[in-house]
Chains A and B, each alone.
Chain A
Amino acid sequence: MTFRVAVYWGCVIPTIQYSYEMSVREVLPKLGVELVDLEDASCCGLPVRSVNTYASVYLAARNRAVAEKTGLEDLLIPCSGCHLSLSEAKEYLSEDEELRRKVDSLLREEGLELKDSVRVWHTIDFLHDFIGEEKIRKSVKRHLAGLRFAPHYGCHILRPSSWERVDNSEDPRKLDDLLTWLGAEGVDYPEKLDCCGCLLLLSQPDAAFSFAGLKLKALKELGVDGLVDCCPSCHMMFDMRQKSLAATVGAKLDVPVLYYTQLLGLAMGIDMERLGLQLNRSPVDEILQKIVH
């Protein structure tokens, strides 16, 4: 039986982080999920948060309303920043009637209505809690035994725990579990909860590169096979910009970085190119050899 889920991609995934979109679109149908794209989605509001919080809450509410128009009960948000923004809007709108009234009136101008009818998921809790261990273990064709990965959860799916978030804020385990179900090992490390610094790119790029660079540098001493992430902004830092990180922190960095969905796809036996693995800039070839051959 196929289960239909609305999917909201946000900005970063469909405009540059193609490998995340490709791998999500490949793996979920194999687990019995049909993805329904939104008509007329827009930015989630997070990039507007610093300039005008009111407008950012409106944008987040708008995308919730657009998702509700599908009539589906579940909304998958693979981007952690979008997931935070849409969760934040839900909180603030539920506790501030005047804000809710203002936002509702803006939504009406586009013929939209917010009913709070969708359940919001991120890739990690969707796979872990909704799809579950049994289905994922069954889908594995290439067992990843012997491979050790450092899981990077990122900030925005974990905090603040006073809102509905994806995993425990101080001791997240879901991505670790997901790695275990593929036969691989998720390694604990002191820098596990460290921020990638991506949101500092706009104002303090050197500091941003240091955040991510120091994390990868610490990983080198851990002897892991790579870093596994699940947020397009984090991935942009660790994978796409790894050379800049290395230059900033003055270290040789050669850490393979993959999205969890890419790794899952590999374990399922899906062709590398269909998972966007040709787009990873970090040195993933060695790891691919270990898995595919």
Chain B
Amino acid sequence: MSTLDLMTTKKPDLALRAKVLSKIGDHRPYNCFQCIRCTSGCPSMKMLELKPHEVVSLTRLGFIDDVIESGILWACAMCLKCKERCPQEVAPVDLILALRNLAVETEATVPESFLKSVSTILETGFVQKPQRTVTRKMEKVDRDKLGLPRFREASDRFKTVLMKALGTF
């Protein structure tokens, strides 16, 4: 993904840009002066070539589709170093999360496991039910056997309200 190519061939999508910037978070892309402090400290830069300053720049220019379609948004580990270290109080991580929200909303390609987690929370109130596990000696154990109190599942009322919350953007 190169900024130059996009700029010569694409038209910015200002409506989508406005939508991203209306989402919750401390993203302030217009504050960015491209010092690249975010990218230089980004652990996903080393491993997956995520460049937070580019995401900020592309969003500011209005090339939202391209950022979403590149799939690079899903390389962020949410370590929050970029949010911590930006001298301009831009939070690239918040922008990445807002763009992920938009990817879901516009039904772009999204790693399936993210959506699966949400449906499990809708069913049970939690990301998973209590799992059986094994000790180092391969003995099977669960909460009961370990002497832990009973796990309390979420109420049906809660699930209805969560459904409603998910329907609001």
Using a CB–CB distance below 8 Å, which chain A residues touch chain B? 11-12, 14-16, 18, 21-22, 25, 37, 39-43, 47-55, 57-59, 62, 92, 96, 99, 102, 106, 109-110, 155-156, 159-162, 169-170, 193-195, 197-200, 202-204, 207-208, 210-211, 274, 276, 278-281, 285
- In the complex, 27 of the A-B residue pairs with CB atoms within 8 angstroms, ordered by the A residue number, are A14-B151, A15-B130, A15-B131, A37-B149, A39-B152, A40-B155, A42-B125, A48-B121, A49-B78, A50-B97, A50-B101, A51-B117, A53-B97, A54-B24, A55-B165, A59-B165, A92-B24, A106-B164, A109-B160, A110-B155, A162-B89, A197-B77, A203-B75, A211-B77, A278-B136, A279-B141, A285-B136
A51 engages B115 (CB within 8 Å): yes
C-alpha gap A18/B140 in the complex (Å): 13
Contacting pair A276 B127 (CB below 8 A): no
Query: Within the complex, which residue of A18, A59, A156, A159 is in contact with B133, where a contact is CB–CB below 8 Å?
Result: A18
Whether the pair B115, A15 counts as a contact (CB closer than 8 A) is no
Q: Which of B9-17, B32-40, B53-61, B79-87 lies at the binding interface?
A: B79-87
Q: Out of A18, A62, A96, A203, which one reaches B148, CB within 8 Å?
A: A18
User: Which chain B residues border A42 with CB–CB below 8 Å?
Assistant: 121, 125-126, 154, 158, 162
B151 adjacent to A195 (CB under 8 Å): no
Are A110 and B157 in contact (CB-based, < 8 A)? Answer: yes
Residues of A within 8 A of B4 (CB): none
Which residues of A lie under 8 Å from residue B151 when comparing CB positions?
Answer: 14-15
Smallest beta-carbon distance A191→chain B, Å: 10
**Residues of A contacting B28 with CB < 8 Å?**
none
Q: How far is the CA of A212 from the CA of B70 in the complex (A)?
A: 25
Contact of A11 among B80, B127, B149 (CB under 8 A): B127
Q: Assess whether A50 is in contact with B100, with CB atoms less than 8 Å apart.
A: yes
Tell me if A53 and B125 are in contact (CB < 8 A).
Answer: no
A21 to B147, CA, bound (A): 11
Chain A residues with CB under 8 A of B117: 47-48, 51, 202
Q: Which residues of A contact B101 (CB under 8 A)?
A: 50-53
| A40, A50, A55, A276 interface centre (most CB from chain B within 10 Å) | A50
Given A57-B24, A197-B43, A279-B133, A22 and B146 touching (CB < 8 A)?
A: yes
Which of B43, B125, B128, B158 is A16 in contact with, Cβ under 8 Å? Answer: B128
Task: Specify which of A156, A170, A279 is in contact with B135 (CB 8 Å cutoff).
Answer: A279
Chain A residues positioned under 8 Å from B141 (CB to CB): 18, 279
Minimum Cβ distance to chain A for residue B129 (Å): 6
B121 touches A53 (CB 8 A): no
Contact call A43/B77, Cβ cutoff below 8 A: no
Total chain B interface residues with beta-carbon distance under 8 A: 63
Partner of A18, one of B143, B158, B169: B143
B residues less than 8 Å from A99 (CB atoms): 24
- Partner of B98 from A53, A161, A204 at Cβ < 8 Å: A53
Enumerate chain B residues within 8 angstroms of A208, measured Cβ to Cβ: 77
- Within 8 Å by CB of B74, from A58, A155, A204, A280, lies A204
Which 3 pairs from chain A and chain B are nearest by CB?
A159-B80, A195-B79, A203-B74
Within 8 A of A (CB), among B12-48: 23-25, 43-44, 47-48
**Residue B91 at the chain A interface, CB threshold 8 Å:** yes
Is B133 a contact partner of A16 (Cβ separation < 8 A)? yes
Residues on B with beta carbons closer than 8 Å to the beta carbon of A281? 136
Indicate if B161 sits at the interface (CB-CB under 8 A). yes
Taking CB atoms and an 8 Å cut-off, the chain B residues in 94-127 that contact chain A are 97-98, 100-101, 104, 110-111, 113-115, 117-118, 121, 125-127
* Residue B1 lies at the interface, judged by CB distance under 8 Å to chain A: no
**Chain A residues with CB under 8 A of B97:** 49-50, 53
Residues of B within 8 A of A193 (CB): 81
Q: Do B165 and A40 touch (CB < 8 A)?
A: no
Say yes or no: B152 contacts A161, CB within 8 Å: no
Residue contact B47 to A207, C-beta cutoff 8 Å: yes
Task: Report the minimum CB–CB distance from A59 to chain B (whole Å).
Answer: 7
A285-B135 Cα distance, complex, nearest whole Å? 13
Q: Output the residue of A21, A102, A159 with the most chain B CB within 10 A.
A: A159
Q: Which residue of B lies closest to A81 (CB)?
A: B78
Residue in B44, B77, B169 whose beta carbon sits within 8 Å of that of A52 in the complex: B169
Residue of A nearest to B78 (CB): A199
